[in-house]
Structure 1
């Protein structure tokens, strides 16, 4: 575990995950976990009558995969504060392979805790055609370097 303090984060630094192919099993398991059995995800025949002509993955599934893809290293000086501005830009289909790109977008002070600040990471999920399918902002609450350091 490498400690990164607020001062260690640099705007514009990015990392990209390995790809992960979305399978029918992923969609079925996610439907069972969430109770979201809408036909857009589960009914192949009905989907043939719709704009996309095939089943689409749940947006929440793709969000979960993207979050997992960005969670590579543990930083004991930071923790997730939540996500803002989550958008599902394009559909993800069975067989699509997605990667997550995470870019440091912003750093700002915490309004009350002077020994902490926020790091905002732009999380983008990108398919094999280089199309952005999901975007979100991940907020990290990060400890400042100790005064004596």
Structure 2
């Protein structure tokens, strides 16, 4: 296992597009009109379409699976609290920070937060990730 340490951080940013919402709705089957129907969404408290919460969460999956702890790691748990909506055109930065490392079991506990371009927190939670055993193929 490479050298990890408590407090280590990583981040990943992506701008949410119309295509992201359409593709996510298509593969998830979530065609809730608050995501896909502008006329409907205009009448909601948000005033326009919002991104699926789990679309935003998928940015954490990319961050944790590719950056920290990275390739070969596997999700064990993820808590989520959605705090603000994400709209088309928002740039979301997914951030992770290692809170605890169980080297014997190869398990990491991480703080996970997603923020919009204006630093507004849109999602927060914690993740547990399992690393592969030493010498395992990734």
- TM-score scaled by length of structure 1: 0.77
Note the 1:28-43 alignment, pairs <5 A: 28-43=22-37
User: For the structure 1 residues 30 and 91, does the alpha-carbon distance in structure 2 shift closer, same or farther, using more than 3 Å as the test?
Assistant: same
Deviation (angstroms), 1:132:
1.2
Give the CA RMSD over aligned residues. Answer: 2.4
8, 13, 23: which is aligned to 2:8? 13
Question: Residue deviations 1:89-108, cap 9 Å, x none?
Answer: 21100000011111001224
Stretches of structure 1 that go unaligned for 5 or more consecutive residues are 110-114
- TM-score scaled by length of structure 2: 0.83
Q: Report the secondary structure of 2:66's partner residue.
A: coil
Q: Taking CA–CA contacts closer than 8 Å with sequence separation of 6 or more, which of the two structures ends up with the larger relative contact order?
A: 1
- Structure 2 residue 60 is the aligned partner of structure 1 residue 71: no
Note the 1:120-131 alignment, pairs <5 A: 120-131=109-120
Stretches of structure 2 that go unaligned for 5 or more consecutive residues are none
Deviation (angstroms), 1:65:
2.2
Matched positions, count = 134
Structure whose CA Rg is larger: 1
